[in-house]
């Protein structure tokens, strides 16, 4: 998070919506008039394969858009945990979807935050928004931008679907609340 | 107003804004967003998107639309670009303006979907037969993809030459905020040469052969003059902290972005380095780089390939300074730290010694 | 003095480069006449192949584009989509259209491209000196089937018009010939229909024309007419194989 | 009424297709080479010509034109 | 305990990478079973396409070659001519075999190559994320026909097996499907016949199989079976379209 | 016993003698005598000639036959060679040995039938996508076409790499007396990797992709090692009067033959010139040329192109001596006198001054 | 005699094709995710199974094997 | 013809057999154990177009195989006359088929030999052997090799057709005789 630059990595199965929350972050950063880049990476499989994206939010012009050592990483499944835990920058934060990822050996020099986002999403009544719940958690614990601006981005990306915007906002807030209460 | 857009989509939108009304293409990762965007937007822009049966067909459809004088584009990725090589050679010889996008993916062979710059030779030296060149533009941000794509059409028409926009898979897939200033094209002469139907004028032929070696030579010399003119007039580059630099990185596209960060890191250590970024890969910006040589103790090419552009760098440096290489291959990109390390190992010791 | 027969303005003054007796010349003349008669000279864009007819842009009075070998249909597609108001035709040999350009031909037909293809089948690669074509007959000796085309190892002649009858976007498919004044008149009729179908915007029209290559068949021009009649005509399905009225084709 | 076949000697390639096709068999290959070395076709008896234009139709090289002289011309 | 149904040794142990409910897996299994039943595992050389099945060399127990997109038939031709004693098959998608590889498919058929092609028609480009295929249905929305395939500008679905019936060297052409156990059994029969025809040296055999792509069709796997049945089956000619006994085909 | 033979036919005969049993090709002037010869002779040699539907199909048939472990060849000319570029990249990645002949004709586009060397870049830098190289052999006489074609098959098998025999149209069409000494192939290991049917062994896959960038990089590095090994071991060249030369011509194929005469003419004038003739265009014989540099005051590349090989020469000379260029294009060849003149104008003045 | 459907939970992708195809409707999607996150199919009443193997035939992922236990086994 | 090297150019229409007599020369040179090269050049047309070939016969290794300035040139038609007359080396010889090529402005510094070879061939009874007649003329006036070796080459190239070999030999001798008598 040196010199006003934050690097994110969001990883999981295809279908878990990690690319989407990266987009929300990026959109929000743009709305906040920050510099931003978003890069996706997919595995060769169509579904069930791995997917991840890197987001950089910065106050100054962004050189390298790739994120080798994220400040903040999110892993939604076990494979991503195994793959990325070592890359988090010392002092950084790793968010783990504990609904799916078992309790595995961690690291001492980073913060590991385990959140059962699938279960939380289930409670809200829509399993698909586990990703947004996690976005809320991240926002609560390691915010880079204002809450409002993230919600605005969420609404914008929902396009012309107000129910979706609503659902997403609820999931986002549920994440924030959960984090404030439990972590 | 800025909007967040994928590089591939930005290219497609820029093309439409530049008056491109015909897109012929065949899907291939990681360039597929280009045809997808075109299939969505061309119709309402009064243009035509057509999915070709192959890249070979696509480039020849481009040839047809270009030959009748319309603005036309195709987009593909490395294996598809390889299939277009005969077509490119024909487009050059028939002097048909057009724009081709190559969103490079890692090879050789089927390879992988990761980013690469290993089509550099194919792009700049001519992967097809005979003496020819396309102008090759290498943007390094989504905004530059917009700006250069628009210009590409003007340059193509101006010289009656193919223009290639070359990016790696990262740039094609990356989202950045981007703006679309209103397009103001160059003033160009009407395409009186086009085979657009001989209404009210003598007939035109647009062909790519010559009947005798004498003619072949005079045609090639004429094309050679055009090549020289393009070489003279179209070199583009961009510099980062080069004014007082004692060492220069040379890099384009994504590797230039990564190198920019490496430059910052080295500058923090007090080492006077800068980045020379070719914006045209062909013509290689040799004037710009030559101008910097007197102040430079060493150069390093940073590439997503086994080291292809480094040959062009060496041709210009011509023994006047050591030229290093920092590379990653097969879809990998270097971390800025790696670039710093390679620099220290290969150049810093030597340059100072 | 009344003119019974004279050169059309659809052709330039340039003498053809074809070998003596090569019927490419007859086919050129028919196209030239139709360009004139149908008032297409200023509206047409022709696409030349690579093959003996690769210099045909010198002969037709309309604008012409020279394509790469086999790609005339793709080039024509590109041109027609760019200028839907123009009349666009390709002129191709059997190697050009049925071998290296086969995917282009069939795919354009499937897409129903509003262009017309003239396919000159002389059962051989003329320009390159007489190699086997996809249309060469079983038993035919060519410079790459020196012992005669053997069906077991080299396969059977490809009947492209017959194939195209099975492709929905091909709305007019005819297979004609030029060995006699009667046949030539039929051919002109088929070409006129094909052209009209494009002008009416109905879809892809394709006219296959059996033609001679005395040089590479190794016979004199008159014998070549006979070879065409007795060897080629029995093999290839002839007639209007598919017309807009008669969807599905007359060969089924 | 008389039919006239005009032979463009320089365009003729001596292929013989018109000779073969003329129903009246009044054309023959001549014995003077043109500038390209081809022995152009010749008319043996114009008066027998019926003006069917078969020769013109079959000639691949546009070497023949056919006219009809109206009576009294 | 009697085994009623179990995994064949014609397939490796590796789980498929295909999307849930994608019927590529069913087709793989049928081929694997035939490799075992017809004793071909050690004799077969399979050619993989580029497409969703591009990694299928991991699944079949026989030797495999990965071809460039669209070139599987050419690769198979090269391999079979080199080793005529081997059993050579291609496994290809509709984009691979009917778009970019169309010339290769039809030309190999014309030459009567002694190979067998399995053509998996899911009316879409699966691997690249759902673009229009030559076989996409009129009206079908894909990522490159977002407003639905429009016949006038994008043409009609290409029915490759139907085309191949008109090609002399293609001696067995079948068009089958996998939406039910019955259909799957028919498909296996057709594949067995196709393979046997190659073993008997009769010529080119081609089996087109209608298959699903739930992911890119945007429906769930069970709905996909239904889409296949109600939308695809009515368009494409089905059955044994051409058999060695029944030259000329049953569709005429 | 010597016999008079066309270069193209000599290549075909040599291939058969080297055990090539499969030829897939598509006719194109001026290489057509190769498929024609094969169609005549393959059958009685127990092999197969097959006319492909296109060059794209031909190169992929080569891929199939090579993948099952058989010796296979194709032959074409420039536009056809352009169509093979995707295939070449695949052949490299799948490590399939094979031999490809490019009988160059003048381009770009349909161009003409005259001789040229303007495919040099395409041949040596890789006209297809990704980092790869074929070994490129450039004979300069019909006899050498025989000898190198035979070797080509051995080299291909040894490295599991594509080998290209590149000649211009003159060499392909020229007749010279030629002898066929009995073929004695290298000792080579059996092709245990081939996908030839898994009889009695675990199954083999011959593929050209990798699933992840990590794998992509390790594959590319492995191929890079092979490239280094080929670079180290396979450089070939031939010298003419180089021992005491103060100036060196660099030329291959027909232009080397012409230059040989120019060397004789200059020697008659007492000027100490020699000819350095690359026999491998890739790897370029840089060791041989470097070894001569200390004695050399200037070099001149003689090419039937706009000047392509001259870049490789300059990369080696690296500023140590002036490098001139004598070129003809579009199917024209220089007279020896022209080479002499160009030399005098460009180098003699400067080199002595 | 009893028919046994063996479910390879790790191979199952929860596509539901077997559920849809089984004439006896005795298969259902389970509620425990496997290691890949797929809710594997489950047998509801093995005794009703007629051993028709339709489920195996339609399963694209080779997740099912079907056996018949002979009497007395 | 300097230093034991002779350069020939044979030019005409396709079909006039100029490539063939070049081959005969080349074959003969090889039989005589001389160094030799033969290069053809065609126009783009199949028949009736131009064709020519260059032959070099030498005592030492042949560098350049192209013939820009022939010592001995033969033109069988007018187009070739126009194209090549300027290229003949001063002191060289230009053979002209006077049956077809009209009497055109020549050159003073070369020998121009006009022979009506079509007519001579006609007399022998086979118009096609005009080229061989000319070969005889060339052999008579500017020989590089022995008569016998040329005849041997002619016979070898006739392959398994003795009548052809015989006809060719007769034409060759007719050319020699004509040259000795008339030139
Ligand atoms: C890519 C490519 N391959 C091959 C050729 C050589 N070539 C030129 S024309 C031709 C075939 C000509 O045959 P056809 O199309 O039947 O026309 P024809 O001359 O018989 O009228 C070939 C193979 C080429 N020019 N380009
Ligand atoms: C030359 C080339 N062009 C394009 C591609 C991209 N590509 C890969 S697979 C494919 C089409 C896949 O569709 P299909 O053949 O129908 O197979 P499916 O995935 O549907 O089974 C395309 C266009 C490529 N790999 N190479
Ligand atoms: S080679 Fe054959 S097709 Fe070509 S011009 Fe001559 S006769 Fe006609
Ligand atoms: S017009 Fe008829 S009759 Fe008269 S010459 Fe011609 S073909 Fe013969
Ligand atoms: S058909 Fe024409 S070219 Fe042939 S001989 Fe008759 S007039 Fe001459
Ligand atoms: S994308 Fe479609 S074809 Fe590909 S694996 Fe998934 S469902 Fe199957
Ligand atoms: S074997 Fe038949 S009855 Fe038994 S579970 Fe499977 S489909 Fe159902
Ligand atoms: S068909 Fe197979 S993969 Fe699908 S739910 Fe049933 S057992 Fe699982
Ligand atoms: Mg032909
Ligand atoms: Mg598909």
Residue of F nearest to E62 (CA): F203
Report the domain count for chain E.
Answer: 1
Element counts in chain D: helices (H) and strands (E): 2, 4
What is the C-alpha to C-alpha distance for residues B261 and A66, in angstroms, rounded to an integer?
11
* Residue H169 per-residue DSSP state: H
Q: Residue A9's domain is classified under what CATH number? A: 3.40.920.10
Task: Tell which wins on pLDDT, B352 or F338.
Answer: F338
Please give the interface size between B and F, counted as residue pairs whose CB atoms are below 8 Å apart: 257
Q: How far is the CA of C19 from the centre of ligand 3 (A)?
A: 5
- At residue A156, the pLDDT reads 93
Residues present in chain H in total: 183
Establish if C7 belongs to a structural domain: no
pLDDT tens, E4-14?
Answer: 999 999 999 99
Q: Which residues line ligand 8 (CB under 6 A)?
A: G 12-18, 41, 59, 61, 63-64
Nearest to residue B175, comparing CAs of A54, F127, H1? A54
Predicted confidence (pLDDT) per residue in A23-56, tens digit: 999 999 999 999 999 999 876 655 567 789 999 9
User: What residues of B are in contact with residue C61 (Cβ under 8 Å)?
Assistant: 198, 203
Residue D20 beta carbon below 6 angstroms from any ligand 4 atom: no
For B244-296, the DSSP string reads T-SEEEE--HHHHHHHHHHHHHHHHTT--EEEEEESEEES--HHHHHHHGGG-
Residue numbers of chain F with a pLDDT score lower than 70:
350-353
Chains H and E touch, using 3 or more CB pairs below 8 Å: no
* Position H125 confidence tier, pLDDT thresholds 50, 70, 90: confident
User: C226 to chain B, minimum CA–CA distance in Å?
Assistant: 33
pLDDT tens digit string along A107-142? 999 999 999 999 999 898 888 899 999 999 999 999
- Interface touch C153/F40, C-beta < 8 Å: no
Q: Is the pLDDT at B285 greater than 50, yes or no?
A: yes
**Of A30, A39, A44, Cβ closest to residue B4:** A30
Does D9 sit in the ligand 5 pocket, CB within 6 Å? Answer: no
* E65 close to E48: Cβ distance less than 8 angstroms: yes
Same fold, B3-233 and B238-347: yes
User: Cβ(D24) to ligand 4 under 6 A?
Assistant: yes
Q: Is G29 on the interface with E (CB under 8 A)?
A: no
Has residue H181 got a pLDDT over 70?
Answer: yes
Which of the other chains make 3 or more beta carbon contacts under 8 angstroms with chain D?
A: C, H
Q: From residue F350, give the alpha-carbon distance in Å to each of E101, F274, F294, F321, F323.
A: 57, 17, 17, 10, 10
Instruction: Note whether A64 contacts B4, CB cutoff 8 Å.
Output: no
- The answer to whether residue B85 neighbours chain C at the CB level (below 8 Å) is no
- What pLDDT does residue H1 have? 44
Question: Is C172 among the domain residues?
Answer: yes
How far E55 CA sits from the closest chain B CA (Å)? Answer: 11
Q: Does B112 touch chain E (CB under 8 A)?
A: no
The pLDDT of residue D60 is: 98
In chain C, the residue whose alpha carbon lies closest to the alpha carbon of F43 is C147
Question: Residue F183 burial by CB count (10 A; 0-12/13-18/19+): exposed, middle or buried?
Answer: middle
pLDDT in tens, B57-106: 999 999 999 999 999 999 999 999 999 999 999 999 999 999 999 999 99
Q: How confident is the model at residue E249 (pLDDT cuts 50, 70, 90)?
A: very low
Domain with residue C147: its CATH number is 3.40.50.970
Question: How far does C215 lie from chain H, in Å, by closest CA?
Answer: 8
**Residue D1 in this model has a pLDDT that exceeds 80:** no
Interatomic CA distance for residues E175 and E165, integer angstroms = 11
Alpha-carbon distance F158 to F135, whole Å? 12
Q: How far is residue F199 CA from its own chain's centroid?
A: 36
Q: Using 50, 70 and 90 to split pLDDT, how confident is the model at B169?
A: very high
What is the Cα–Cα distance from B219 to B213, expressed in whole angstroms?
Answer: 10
- What average pLDDT score do residues H93-116 get? 94
Give chain B positions within 8 Å (CB) of F217: 328-332
The pLDDT score that the predictor gives to residue A3 is 64
Q: Is C107's CB within 8 Å of B57's CB? A: yes
Tokens linked to F280: 């491998």
Which whole number is the average pLDDT over E73-77? Answer: 98
Q: Please tell me which of the candidates A27, A37, A69 has its beta carbon nearest to residue B174.
A: A37
Indicate whether E96 belongs to any domain: yes
Q: Does E32 touch chain B (CB under 8 A)?
A: no
Instruction: Say if ligand 5 is within 6 A of residue D26 CB.
Output: no
Helix (H) or strand (E) holding B101: strand B98-104
**Taking CB atoms and an 8 Å cutoff, what residues of chain H touch B208?**
none
Q: Of C57, C71, C86, which is closest to B207 when you measure between CB atoms?
A: C57
Mean predicted confidence (pLDDT) in B315-341:
97
Give the range of the structural domain holding residue E67, as residue numbers without chain letter: 24-247
Query: Side-chain half-sphere of B336: how many Cα atoms within 13 Å?
Result: 20
Nearest CA, atom 3, ligand 2: B80
Q: Which CATH number fits domain F238-347: 3.90.1010.10, 2.20.28.160, 1.10.3720.10, 3.40.50.920?
A: 3.40.50.920
Average pLDDT along chain B? 97
Q: What is the pLDDT of residue E245?
A: 66
Mind listing the pLDDT tens digit of every residue in chain C (252 residues)? 899 999 999 999 999 999 999 999 999 999 999 999 999 999 999 999 999 999 999 999 999 999 999 999 999 999 999 999 999 999 999 999 999 999 999 999 999 999 999 999 999 999 999 999 999 999 999 999 999 999 999 999 999 999 999 999 999 999 999 999 999 999 999 999 999 999 999 999 999 999 999 999 999 999 999 999 999 999 999 999 999 964 444 443
Residues 6 or more apart in contact with residue H62 via CB below 8 angstroms:
F257, H5, H35, H36, H37, H56
Alpha helices in C122-205 (DSSP H): 151-154, 160-164, 181-199
Distance CA F206, CA E66 (A): 6
Averaged confidence pLDDT in chain E: 96
User: Is pLDDT above 60 for B48?
Assistant: yes
Reported as type and span, the H/E element at residue F198 is: none
Whether H70 contacts H7, CB under 8 Å: yes
Tell me how many residue pairs between chain D and chain H have CB atoms under 8 A apart: 9
pLDDT of residue D35: 79
Nearest CA in chain F to B323: F318
Task: Give phi and psi for F295, each to the nearest 5.
Answer: -90, -5
The overall average pLDDT reported for chain A is 92
What pLDDT does A1 receive?
44
CA distance to partner chain C, nearest, from residue B130 (Å): 15
Distance A14 CA to ligand 8 centre (A): 20
pLDDT, position C245: 65
> For residues A134-171, b (16+ Cβ closer than 10 Å) or e, as one string?
bbbbbbbbbebbeeebbbbbbbebbeeeeebbebbbbb
Into which CATH architecture does domain B3-233 fall? 3-Layer(aba) Sandwich (3.40)
Does pLDDT of D73 surpass 80? no
The closest of C126, C64, C93 to C209, measured between CA atoms, is C93
Comparing CB atoms, the residue among H38, H64, H69 nearest residue F261 is H64
Chains H and D touch (3+ CB pairs under 8 A): yes
Element (H, E) at F302: strand F298-303
User: What ipTM was assigned to the predicted interfaces of this complex?
Assistant: 0.97
The confidence score (pLDDT) of residue H46 equals: 56
**D47 and chain H in contact, CB less than 8 A:** no
Q: What's the confidence (pLDDT) of residue B352?
A: 44
As for how many domains chain H has, the answer is 1
Task: Confirm or reject contact between F200 and chain E (CB < 8 A).
Answer: yes
> With an 8 Å Cβ cutoff, is E152 touching chain B?
no
State how far the Cα of G27 lies from the Cα of G20, in Å rounded to an integer.
Answer: 8
- Separation between Cα atoms, residue F17 and residue F99, nearest integer Å: 14
A142 dihedral zone (left: phi>0; alpha: psi -120 to 50; beta): beta
Collapsed DSSP state (helix, strand, coil) of residue B214: helix
Using one digit for the tens of pLDDT, what is the confidence trace for E80-132? 999 999 999 999 999 999 999 999 999 999 999 999 999 999 999 999 999 99
What's chain H's average pLDDT? 92
* Closest ligand (CA of D66): 4
Q: What is the pLDDT of residues B136-149, one digit of tens each?
A: 999 999 999 999 99
- Tens digit of pLDDT for each residue in C126-138? 999 999 999 999 9
| Cβ-defined contact of E19 to A49 (cutoff 8 Å) | no
Cβ neighbours of E13 in F, within 8 Å: none
Beta-strand runs (E) in chain D: 2-7, 27-33, 39-43, 64-69
Q: What is the pLDDT of residue E214?
A: 97
- Contact list in E for residue G25 (CB cut-off 8 A) is none
Max CA distance (Å), chain C = 59
Q: How many CA atoms lie within 13 A of A38 on its CB side?
A: 24
Asked whether the whole model's pTM tops 0.90, one would answer yes
E35 interfaces chain F, CB cutoff of 8 Å: no
Cα separation, F30 vs F198, in Å, equals: 41
Domain that holds residue A59: 2-182
Ligand 3 lined by C22 (C-beta under 6 Å)? yes
Q: Where are the domains of chain F?
A: 3-233, 238-347
Picking from E100, E103, E159, the nearest residue to C102 by CB comes out as E103
Closest H-chain CA to D38: H48
Are C90 and C65 in contact by the 8 Å Cβ rule? The answer is no
CA B166 – CA B172 distance, rounded (Å): 10
Question: What is the whole-number distance in angstroms between the Cα of residue C49 and the centre of ligand 1?
Answer: 8
Q: Residue F286 half-sphere exposure, CB side, CA atoms within 13 Å?
A: 18
């Amino acid at each position: 998070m040196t010199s006003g630059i934050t690097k994110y990595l969001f990883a999981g199965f295809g279908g878990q919506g990690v690319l989407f929350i990266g987009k929300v972050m990026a959109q929000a950063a743009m709305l906040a008039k920050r510099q931003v880049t978003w890069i996706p990476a997919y595995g060769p499989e169509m579904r069930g394969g791995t997917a991840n994206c890197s987001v950089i939010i910065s106050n100054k012009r962004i050189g390298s858009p790739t994120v080798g050592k994220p400040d903040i990483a999110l892993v939604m499944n076990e494979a991503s945990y195994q793959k990325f835990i070592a890359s988090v920058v010392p002092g950084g934060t790793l968010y783990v979807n504990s609904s799916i990822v078992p309790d595995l050996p961690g690291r001492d020099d980073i913060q590991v935050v385990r959140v059962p986002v699938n279960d939380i999403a289930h409670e809200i009544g829509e399993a698909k928004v586990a990703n947004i719940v996690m976005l809320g958690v991240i926002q609560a614990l390691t915010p880079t931008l204002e809450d409002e601006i993230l919600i605005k981005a969420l609404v914008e990306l929902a396009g012309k679907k107000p129910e979706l915007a609503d659902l997403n906002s609820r999931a986002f807030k549920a994440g924030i609340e959960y984090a404030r209460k439990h972590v | 107003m800025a909007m967040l857009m994928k590089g591939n989509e930005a290219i497609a939108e820029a093309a439409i804004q530049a008056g491109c009304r015909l897109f012929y293409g065949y899907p291939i990762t990681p360039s597929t967003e280009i045809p997808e965007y075109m299939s969505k937007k061309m119709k309402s822009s009064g243009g035509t998107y057509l999915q070709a049966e192959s890249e070979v067909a696509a480039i020849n459809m481009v040839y047809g639309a270009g030959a009748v004088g319309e603005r036309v584009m195709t987009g593909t990725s490395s294996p598809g670009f390889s299939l277009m090589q005969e077509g490119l050679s024909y487009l050059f010889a028939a002097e048909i303006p057009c724009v081709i996008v190559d969103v490079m993916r890692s090879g050789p062979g089927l390879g992988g979907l990761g980013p690469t710059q290993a089509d550099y030779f194919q792009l700049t030296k001519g992967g097809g037969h005979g003496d020819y060149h396309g102008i090759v533009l290498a943007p390094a941000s989504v905004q530059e993809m917009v700006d250069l794509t628009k210009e590409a059409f003007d340059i193509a028409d101006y010289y009656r030459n193919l223009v290639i926009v070359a990016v790696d898979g990262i740039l094609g897939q990356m989202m950045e905020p981007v703006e679309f200033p209103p397009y103001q094209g160059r003033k160009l002469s009407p395409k009186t040469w086009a085979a657009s139907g001989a209404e009210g004028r003598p007939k035109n032929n647009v062909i790519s052969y010559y009947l005798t070696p004498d003619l072949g030579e005079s045609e090639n010399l004429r094309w050679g003059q055009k090549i020289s003119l393009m070489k003279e007039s179209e070199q583009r580059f961009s510099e980062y902290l080069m004014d007082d630099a004692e060492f220069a990185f040379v890099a384009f596209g994504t590797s230039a972005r990564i190198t920019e960060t490496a430059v910052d890191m080295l500058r923090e250590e007090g080492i006077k380095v800068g980045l020379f970024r070719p914006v045209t890969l062909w013509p290689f910006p040799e004037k710009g780089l030559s101008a910097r040589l007197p102040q430079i103790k060493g150069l390093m090419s940073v590439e997503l390939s086994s080291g292809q552009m480094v040959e062009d760098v060496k041709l210009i440096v011509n023994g006047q300074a050591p030229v290093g290489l920092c590379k990653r291959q097969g879809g990998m990109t270097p971390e800025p730290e790696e670039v710093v390390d390679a620099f220290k190992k290969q150049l810093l010791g030597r340059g100072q010694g | 003095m009344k003119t019974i027969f004279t050169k059309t303005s659809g052709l330039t003054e340039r003498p053809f480069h074809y070998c003596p007796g090569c019927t490419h010349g007859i086919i050129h003349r028919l196209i030239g006449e139709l360009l004139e008669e149908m008032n297409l000279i200023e509206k047409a864009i022709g696409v030349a192949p690579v093959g003996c007819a690769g210099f045909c842009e010198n002969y037709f009075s309309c604008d012409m584009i020279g394509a790469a070998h086999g790609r005339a249909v793709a080039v024509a597609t590109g041109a027609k989509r760019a200028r839907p108001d123009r009349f666009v035709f390709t002129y191709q040999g059997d190697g050009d259209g049925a071998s290296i350009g086969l995917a282009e031909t069939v795919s354009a037909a499937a897409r129903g491209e509003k262009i017309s293809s003239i396919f000159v089948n002389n059962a051989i690669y003329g320009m390159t000196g007489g190699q086997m074509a996809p249309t060469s007959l079983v038993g035919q000796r060519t410079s790459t089937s020196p012992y005669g085309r053997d069906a077991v190892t080299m396969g059977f002649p490809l009947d492209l018009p017959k194939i195209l009858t099975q492709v929905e976007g091909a709305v007019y498919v005819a297979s004609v010939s030029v060995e006699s004044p009667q046949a030539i008149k039929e051919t002109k009729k088929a070409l006129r229909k094909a052209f009209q179908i494009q002008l009416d915007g109905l879809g892809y029209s394709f006219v296959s024309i059996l033609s001679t290559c005395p040089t590479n068949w190794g016979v004199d021009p008159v014998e070549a007419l006979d070879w065409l009649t007795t060897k080629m005509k029995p093999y290839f399905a002839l007639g209007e194989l598919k017309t807009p009225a008669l969807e599905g084709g007359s060969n089924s | 009424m008389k039919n006239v076949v005009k032979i463009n000697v320089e365009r003729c390639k001596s292929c013989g297709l018109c000779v073969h096709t003329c129903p009246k068999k009044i054309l023959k290959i001549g014995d003077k080479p043109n500038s390209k070395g081809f022995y152009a076709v010749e008319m043996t008896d114009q008066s027998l010509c019926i003006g069917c234009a078969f020769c013109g139709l079959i000639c691949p090289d546009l070497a023949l034109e056919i006219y009809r002289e109206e009576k009294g011309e």
